[in-house]
Amino acid sequence: MVASEHDDTDGAPERSNRFTRGRDPWLAHLGNLRNVVRQEMVSRQLARHLPAAPARVLDVGAGQGTQALRLVAAGHEVTAVEPDHAMRDVFTTDAARLRPTERARVSLQASDLATLSTEARPATHDVVLCHGVLMYLPESRAAVAELARRVAPGGILSIVTRNGDALAWRPALRHEWSAALALLEEVDQSRTEDRAALYRNEIGVDARADTLGSLTDDCEAAGLELTAWYGIRVATDDVALDEPPPDAAHLATLLDVEERLGSTDPYRALGTLVHVIASRPGGSVSPADG
């Protein structure tokens, strides 16, 4: 693995990272049911659109590296960008378990989206990932444009973020009626004011929700076409943060159900997270099984 050439642990990217407040509870619960479902759905949904290995992948806000390292193990070449030093530490520890030939295909940079945007002529990639990051940024239009600049002709952009169309679904599933009503009212208000809906997430961070419509508009404004979209955690979001996964047999069935729900109407619209795949027209990059 290529060491970061600008490891600015105390630098500007980390100081301005809204996620940092929720980082410790995030890292403490990577093995919980919610994250297991999330990561597995992202992997399965993404797999439908990946080009044949080795594709050039950029993962912006790679965090602990779950998807980045899975893609490396699948034969792809991954550049991961992550501003938080503790997240990079977990990434690096897990990357050390890769075989040497795999480690040679991953690099981790201590940087963030704003720093990337200073590059006049960025390298392009077949696949650009931005998972669980947009909700911590002040807005999405410029961020999506910045990500899109890195998508090669024929390549794809994969965005996972909080689904503002279903913001009240989790508290409603939990029968937390006052919280559900407050979020329904926030969604109404945000539509009236033509802004993103705001919420506090499960790891205690005030964040911002996009919608399928806003993300589609953002992608199209950046020259990308919506290829597919999925819901993530349609029926498993009523559990507590520390709920562990069930035994292997039950988990396997649960994941198959979530996969079907997340790609089927009307269920997919209720996913806590929305996963958008957008592509840049042209070029020769095509899905591996296409």
Ligand X SMILES: C[S@@+](CC[C@H](N)C(=O)[O-])C[C@H]1O[C@@H](n2cnc3c(N)ncnc32)[C@H](O)[C@@H]1O
Question: Which residues are near ligand X by CB under 6 A?
Answer: 17, 19, 26, 60-63, 66, 81-84, 87, 112-114, 131-133, 136-137
Which lies closer to ligand X via its Cβ, residue 136 or residue 169? 136
Which lies closer to ligand X via its Cβ, residue 39 or residue 184? 39
Which lies closer to ligand X via its Cβ, residue 162 or residue 180? 162
Give the shortest CB-217-to-ligand X separation in angstroms. 21
Give the shortest CB-84-to-ligand X separation in angstroms. 4
Question: Minimal CA–CA distance to 30: which of 163, 203, 179, 188?
Answer: 203
Cα angle 147, 23, 66 (rounded to 5 degrees) comes to 55
Beta bridge partners of 207: 199
Which lies closer to ligand X via its Cβ, residue 58 or residue 285? 58
Give the shortest CB-58-to-ligand X separation in angstroms. 11
Which lies closer to ligand X via its Cβ, residue 102 or residue 112? 112
Query: How far is residue 117's CA from residue 121's CA, in Å, rounded to a whole number?
Result: 9
Which lies closer to ligand X via its Cβ, residue 112 or residue 218? 112
Nearest residue (beta carbon) to ligand X: 63
Are the CB atoms for 261 and 253 separated by under 8 Å?
no
Which lies closer to ligand X via its Cβ, residue 19 or residue 230? 19
Could you tell me where the DSSP H helices lie in the chain?
12-15, 23-28, 33-47, 66-73, 85-95, 100-103, 113-116, 141-148, 169-173, 177-192, 212-221, 248-262
Question: Minimal CA–CA distance to 61: which of 42, 83, 78?
Answer: 83
Give the shortest CB-16-to-ligand X separation in angstroms. 7
Convert 148-185 to b/e letters by CB count within 10 Å (16 or more is b): bbbbbeebbbbbbbbbbbbbbbbbbbeeeeebbeebee
Give the shortest CB-63-to-ligand X separation in angstroms. 2
Give the shortest CB-287-to-ligand X separation in angstroms. 22
Per DSSP bridges, beta strands 197-200 and 125-131 are unpaired
Question: Minimal CA–CA distance to 41: which of 237, 217, 181?
Answer: 237
Give the shortest CB-266-to-ligand X separation in angstroms. 26
